[in-house]
Amino acid sequence: MDRIKISLDEKDLPRRWYNLAADLPSPPLPPVTPDGKPITPDMLAPVFPMNLIEQEVCARRWVDIPDEILQILAMWRPSPLYRARCLEKHLKTPARIYYKHEGLSPPGSHKPNTAVAQAWYNKQFGIKRLCTETGAGQWGSALAFACRLLGLECKVFMVRISFDQKPFRRLMMETWGAACTPSPSPETQAGRAILEKMPDTPGSLGIAISEAIEAAVTDPTGKSRYSLGSVLNHVLLHQTVIGLEAKKQLKKFGEKKVDAVIACAGGGSNFAGIALPFVADKIAGAQIDIIPVEPESCPTMTRAPYVYDHGDTARMTPLLPMHSLGHAFVPPPIHAGGLRYHGIAPLVSAGIRAGLITPRAYHQLRCYESAVLWARTEGFIPAPETSHAIACVIDEARKAAEEGKEKVILFNWSGHGLMDLSGYDAYFRGKLQDYSLPQEELDRSLAVLAGLPKPK
């Protein structure tokens, strides 16, 4: 029998998260206000609990993971590291392809790695209720799950078109006891204002974020906070268990080095989770291609400038130093909902600027083609987001075959596609198409940045 996976014991769970901020060639820029002043912890206090704000600005390389968080992560962690032998054979490649299977968690993706941590820190701080937004529903269901296990209330504003079209993700949230409301809703001022103007709007992630933040900060008890599923430093930090586990597992597979680390990237957290511990190795001198993959239709990393921009459409968040298509950018409705975001995490942006991280973009049809090939060789059906990483892995493996090189490729299989089969349906029936963002549309979208401070 050829070994195809390493399942670590739960006693081998990493005890510390890795913080790339400590190792970057130059320290990360701070978030700022629209008039260019650095954001202070106090300014964030109504939105996030102080212990997470401290983590957000933490400069230490390693952060201890509290035992109670480890105890919950052990429900599905360490996640197995697989070797994709059937795909290798199909591609006739000398490359060895390894993947972290993050789809085995109860919500089916990497998202609960941070949802559990955030819920725990909020609970420690005395918070009783978390508010968030969700698009396709991966993040909302992960936070619903985490809040239920920790005894917090959970309120999710779900973009209305997804609420109507994806009842299964909503039902997951309800099964875990979360209150899930279609957004815009009459429950917030922001929602009511939109509904008055556009009663039939399908909603947007921007509107849903505004509603979630408003619901958190206006709770008269003061016991509600807001929770975000990607982009921020503390979210990326919580995901580094993925890469830290992968290092141990690669060693057990007998691998001494890695040539490429690949993951899809929307806000950047699943990519960061597997990649940041390897970025550290690269800073220390290792030769590794570290590749986040995004959709051609939402080319934040590959075509957008590095700027200061808001994290949300309604400009309620501070300005973050990041690659951004402009906070008003509305990506076309491709099926990888988790990759439809105008910005990308500041830490990932800093890594791109430093030349440590080299992003790529792929078209939707190539990704579905890769996803189906994956399912028919490796068995597990990937999420549309994950298929972006797979498309890139296949390219790298084919290149290795052409060059006759024994490359070691590691990637993050971020989640299963069982709640997203309507996208496969559309693909099989020829209803999907590719979309390249025209330069003039990108230019128009970037115009909203006029007058905002620039990163130095």
Contacts to its own copies by CB under 8 A: 1-5, 7-11, 67, 70-71, 74-75, 80, 86, 104, 106, 108, 145, 148-149, 167-168, 171-172, 174-177, 372, 375-381, 418-419, 421-422, 424-425, 428
In the complex with its own copies, the residue whose CB is nearer, 355 or 379, is 379
Q: Provide the minimum distance between the beta carbon of 133 and its own copies in the complex, in angstroms, as a whole number.
A: 21
What backbone phi and psi angles, to 5 degrees, belong to 129?
-150, 135
Which of 100, 295, 133 shows the shortest CA–CA distance to 214? 133
Q: Provide the minimum distance between the beta carbon of 128 and its own copies in the complex, in angstroms, as a whole number.
A: 17
How far is 385 from 221, CA to CA, in rounded Å? 38
Q: Provide the minimum distance between the beta carbon of 141 and its own copies in the complex, in angstroms, as a whole number.
A: 10
How far is 385 from 338, CA to CA, in rounded Å? 6
Q: Provide the minimum distance between the beta carbon of 180 and its own copies in the complex, in angstroms, as a whole number.
A: 12
End-to-end CA distance of the chain: 55
How far is 201 from 221, CA to CA, in rounded Å? 31
Question: Which helix (H) or strand (E) covers residue 225, if one does?
Answer: strand 224-226
Question: Which helix (H) or strand (E) covers residue 296, if one does?
Answer: none
**CB of 324 within 8 A of CB of 307?**
yes
Which of 137, 134, 315, 313 shows the shortest CA–CA distance to 226? 134
Q: Provide the minimum distance between the beta carbon of 346 and its own copies in the complex, in angstroms, as a whole number.
A: 31
In the complex with its own copies, the residue whose CB is nearer, 97 or 316, is 97
In the complex with its own copies, the residue whose CB is nearer, 119 or 209, is 119
Which of 348, 358, 339 shows the shortest CA–CA distance to 296? 339
Tally of helices (H runs) and strands (E runs) in the chain: 19, 15
In the complex with its own copies, the residue whose CB is nearer, 16 or 315, is 16
Q: Provide the minimum distance between the beta carbon of 385 and its own copies in the complex, in angstroms, as a whole number.
A: 16
In the complex with its own copies, the residue whose CB is nearer, 101 or 340, is 101
**CB of 155 within 8 A of CB of 212?**
yes
Strands 81-83 and 96-101: antiparallel
Q: Provide the minimum distance between the beta carbon of 241 and its own copies in the complex, in angstroms, as a whole number.
A: 14
Strand, helix or coil for residue 60: coil
In the complex with its own copies, the residue whose CB is nearer, 309 or 378, is 378
In the complex with its own copies, the residue whose CB is nearer, 80 or 140, is 80
